[in-house]
Structure 1
Amino acid sequence: MTMTAPHPTGHPGYSETLPRRPESVATARRLVRTALAAWGLEELADDGALVVSELVTNAVQHARSEVIRLVVSRPGPATVRIGVVDKSKAPPRHRPPGSEDDSGRGLVLLAALTAAWGTDRLPWGKRVWGELRGKDSR
């Protein structure tokens, strides 16, 4: 895990490069929980774990590189942004899942759990992110 320089809130961000494998989902959940605990935002831990699980799972299934990058930052006092960077330039696509499908609900879950989410295009790929807001940000 890497700590980055402090953001305008005075809090460092956390990031880690992970192999693009299903096992990385558990590592990503631990990193998010660690960051939230360090910031005193444990109230966001369950939603944060679900959000990062969906983001990493999507990258594992669709990215084009051997690794992905998880970034957890704190753009506001009670706001946390969880992002996953990969080398695929294809934006995430919402497709309605069938009743028998085991997957396809990740973006619906992301939209339901986050205050905002989006995709940033990068020269080498993209960052898909979701923002969680704690009680003090409302």
Structure 2
Amino acid sequence: MATVSPPKAEGSTPWAYALQLPHDPLAPRIARVTLRAVLAGHGLTQLVDSAELLTSELVTNAYRHSTGSATLRLRALAGARLRVSVWDTNPYIPPPFDQRPGRPRCPVRVDSDGGRGLFLVCHYADAWGGYPLRADPFGCGGKLLWCEIGPQAVDCVAAA
């Protein structure tokens, strides 16, 4: 992973970080710790709570529903926004990421013990999506799920 650097002047080149995560139950925790360090280093601490929740859900989904490694990518966007992407080896796009962005209906039963994580991402993110990745000559395929958050998403998560 690249070294965290101080915030750059307005209009400068946006930054991006990638973190390879092994198939390990500690992956969500490691992703959250890395995320906090990156956002603090770039002066985006106002996004930490929301970004932690959404990143944790995406990485947990990758761990629970694939058998290989995953990659977390954090990228700065204009307007103090952040894009969080998680690639994993399973090509299946789970609900609600298999639907068009909007406010997805949650088909999970009220008394169910799981299945709500990605719906939280869709509910609190400003934008989200997912797509399958075709296998390359090295056999890498899978899927990429992503979400974007900014100051508006922060206000929504804080109010919840």
Q: TM-score range by the shorter chain?
A: 0.7 to 0.9
- Number of residue-to-residue matches in the alignment: 130
Shift in Å, 1:58? 0.5
The RMSD of aligned alpha carbons is 1.8
Tell me the CA shift for residue 23 of structure 1. Answer: 0.8
Percent identity between matched residues is 34
Given the alignment of the two structures, is residue 121 of structure 1 paired with residue 132 of structure 2, yes or no? Answer: yes
In structure 2, do the counterparts of structure 1 residues 9 and 105 end up closer, same or farther at CA, with 3 Å as the change threshold?
farther
Deviation at 1:78?
A: 1.0
The SS at the match of 1:80 is strand
TM-score normalised by structure 1 residue count: 0.85
Contact map agreement 1:2 1:16 (CA 8 A) in 2: no
Three-state SS of the structure 1 residue aligned to 2:95 is coil
Tell me if 1:108 matches 2:119: yes
Of residues 61, 73, 97, the one that matches 1:71 is: 73
Single out whichever of 38-47 and 90-99 deviates more from structure 2.
90-99
Larger strand proportion of the pair: 1
Contact (CA 8 Å) 2:79, 2:150: kept in 1 or not? no
Which ranges of structure 2 fall in alignment gaps of 5 or more residues? 4-10, 97-105, 135-140, 153-160
Measured in 2, the distance between the counterparts of 1:37 and 1:72 equals 13
Residue 17 of structure 2 is aligned to residue 14 of structure 1: yes
Give the deviation of 1:100 after TM superposition.
2.4
The 5 A counterparts of 1:1-138 are 1-2=1-2, 10-65=13-68, 67-94=69-96, 96-123=107-134, 124-134=141-151
Q: Partners in 1 of 2:81 and 2:29 — Cα distance?
A: 22
Residue in structure 1 matched with residue 100 of structure 2 by the alignment? none
Give me the whole-angstrom Cα distance separating, in 2, the residues matched to 1:2 and 1:104: 34
Q: How many Å apart are 1:121 and its aligned residue? A: 2.6
